[in-house]
Amino acid sequence: MRKQYYFRNSPRGRLAWDVDRLVELSRTLPVRPVPLSEIRELDEALDQNGQPITWRGFVEHAALMNEADLAFPIILAADGAVMDGRHRVARALLDGRAHRDAAKVSARDAIDWRRLRRLALEPLRAGQPAIWHPFDFAGGEREDGSYAISSEAVRRDPAPVIILDGAYSSRPELATLVDCAILVEASANTRRERLAVREASDFLDAWHRRWDAAEDYFFTQVRPRASFYVVVDSVESRVLMR
C-alpha cells in the first residue's frame, strides 16, 4: 500500500499527518454514516501538491477510485475536512450513494425511538403511566432546524388501546411492542396538497428538502408497504388487510 500523508495549511505553516498513524489512533473512535452532501471537498478544485492536476494525474486518481474499498471508514478532522478517504468518498459518489446515504441518516435520526420505547411504550404496555417531555414546537426551530425539549412533562395513563402515530412510529426497533401496524397512505401529490393547507410555504420547502428522501428510503427499504398488517387508502377509503 502506498504511503500517504494528509497536508493542510495553518498559521504555523504547512502541517502534515502520517495517515497510517491517523488510522491507528482512530481505531477506537465511533463510526457514523455521513451524507456526502456534508463532504465539502467534493465541490472544491482538485489539485496535486498545490498544482493544477494533469490528465495523467486524473487517470491515476480514477484508478485509485476504482480500487477504493468502501468497507473502510473515512477519517474526518474536527472541522469536517477529510483527512483520509477522499477516493472512497469519490467512489461512493460515482456509485450513486450520495442521495441514499443522506436519506438513510435522516431516517435513522428522525425520532429518538429509545426514549419513546423507554418512557412511553414500555410503561404503558406494563399498565403504568407514561411520563415524558415532548418537543417544544411552540418555541420554534433552533438554528440547526431542530426543536428544544419542553420543560413541561406530559402524562398519559394506560388504556386498553394505545395509538402510536407518526411516519417513523413503525420502526423495527419498536415492533415487539406494537400489535398491529397500520399504514395510512396517499399519493405524494395528495400529501403535499394537504400539507400546503396547514403549513406556510417557506416551512414546507425546508421540510420537503429535509424529509422527502428520508421517508422514501424508510418506506421502501426499512418498512415497505408489504410489511404492514393493514394498509388504508386515505383517498379512496379502501382497506387492505394481510
pLDDT digits (tens, 9 = 90+) for 11-34: 778 888 888 888 888 877 767 778
Asked if 77 and 119 sit in the same domain, the reply is no
Percent of the chain with pLDDT over 90: 36
pLDDT value at residue 231:
96
Residues 35 and 54 in one domain: yes
Residue 145 counted as domain residue: yes
Domain hosting residue 114, numbered range: 106-241
* The model's pTM: 0.60
Indicate whether 103 pLDDT > 90. Answer: no
How does DSSP assign the chain, residue by residue?
----EEEEEETTEEEEEEHHHHHHHTTTS------GGG-GGGGSPPEETTEEPPHHHHHHHHHHHHH--TTSPPEE-TTS-EEE-HHHHHHHHHTTHHHHHHHHHHHHHSS-HHHHIIIIIHHHHTT--EEE--B-GGG---TTS--PBPSS-EEE---SS----STTTT-GGGGGG-S--EEEE--HHHHHHHHHHHS-HHHHHHHHHHHHHHHHHIIIIIS-GGG-SEEEETTTTEEEE-
Verify that 16 and 117 share a domain, yes or no.
no
Examine the domain organization and report whether 123 and 79 are in the same domain. no
Same domain, 46 and 114: no
Do residues 162 and 118 both lie within one domain? yes
Is residue 219 scored above 80 in pLDDT? yes
- The more confidently predicted of residues 45 and 130 is 130
Task: Say yes or no: 34 and 145 in one domain.
Answer: no
pLDDT of residue 164: 95
Last residue of a domain, one of 45, 76, 95: 95
Report pLDDT digits (tens) over 158-196. Answer: 999 999 999 899 999 999 999 999 999 999 899 999 999
Residue 100 has pLDDT above 60, yes or no: no
Q: Give the chain's domain count.
A: 2
Residues 84 and 35 in one domain: yes
Whether residues 169 and 91 fall in one domain: no
The residue from 95, 126, 151 where one domain ends is 95
Say yes or no: 88 and 122 in one domain.
no
Residue 101 covered by a domain: no
What average pLDDT does this structure show over 182-211? 88
Predicted confidence (pLDDT) at residue 153 exceeds the cutoff of 90: yes
